[in-house]
Amino acid sequence: MSYIPPRKDQVEDKERRFYVSAPSSIYLQLQQEAIHRGTDLWTLGGNVLRSWLEAGCPNFGPQAPLEEPSSPPPSSSPLAHKKGGAQ
C-alpha cells in the first residue's frame, strides 16, 4: 500500500543537471560565455535560470509586450505646475 509521505521541514537542495533545447548557435554562445566567465556551461545555464526565476520570470526580447505607464508623464508646460491650474 502506498501513501503520501509527510512534508519535511528541511529538504536537501541538491545540484541537478537537466537537459534544455536550443539552436546550436545559442549552445555555442553559452559555451563561449561560460569560458569567458571561468565556469562551465551547466553552471552558467543554471545561474541564468535561477536569476530569471528570482526576478519573477520576466518577459524578455521583442515578443515581450511593452508595459503601459501607470500614470501619464508629467507635463512640460510651466502652467501645469502652478497652483490652481491653467486659466
Cell numbers given for 82: 502652478
Tens digits of residue pLDDT in 10-33 = 999 999 998 999 999 999 999 999
Q: What's this model's pTM, rounded to 2 decimal places? A: 0.57
Compute the CA torsion angle 74, 80, 82, 86 (nearest 10 deg): -160
Write b or e for each residue in 46-80: b if 16 or more Cβ atoms lie within 10 A of its Cβ, otherwise e: beeeeeeeeeeeeeeeeeeeeeeeeeeeeeeeeee
Lowest mean pLDDT among 9-13, 55-59, 78-82: 78-82
Contact (CB, 8 A) for 30 and 41:
yes
Whole-number Å distance between alpha carbons of 52 and 65: 17
